[in-house]
Amino acid sequence: MLKPDAIQRGIAFELLSRFEKRGLRFAALRLLKVDRAMAEKHYAVHKGKFFYDDLVKVITASPVVASVLEGPNAIAVVRSMVGSTRPHEATEGSIRGDYALVGLRNLVHASDAPETAASEIALWFPEGVVSYARDIDRWMSEDKAPS
């Protein structure tokens, strides 16, 4: 998910293009304004932590771009591309390392495990995702060798 700061800074499509250029495929993409109820569901795992209210406040401040990315090792690849949660610790070349400065304004949310991804996809895309193949996919995966 691209958070409100990515939208407000006008770099949303620049960030999205990085995922696509890496070889990941968009299976769902949606621009929406997050209400408090949706924010609370999304951040339920953090309820009771000192930063919970700030998370909810930030994500409801402006629209977000929710997305589902697919590809080999998609979760690990996305997390690596996004970089450390704390932008000052993120490596150069990562999205947060290149574009973010402070904690809650770290531009991107990325699922951390298959179970988390499944629950977040169900929350943000209850109608499901779009399945399709690209000709390039066989060039991006070891199990689909070109013939």
CATH of domain 4-139: 3.30.70.141
Per-residue pLDDT tens for 83-131? Answer: 999 999 999 999 999 999 988 899 999 999 999 999 999 999 999 999 9
Give the residues across from 68 on adjacent strands. 28
What is the C-alpha separation between 147 and 139, in angstroms, rounded? 10
Q: Whole-prediction pTM value? A: 0.91
Longest Cα–Cα distance in the chain: 55
* pLDDT(57) > 90: yes
Which residue among 42, 46, 88, 109 is the active-site one? 109
For 67, the token pair is: 């997305």
Per-residue pLDDT tens for 10-48? Answer: 999 999 999 999 999 999 999 999 999 999 999 999 999
Q: CA 48, 51, 52, 57: dihedral to nearest 10 degrees?
A: 150
Boundaries of every domain in the chain: 4-139
Q: In the annotation, is 109 catalytic?
A: yes
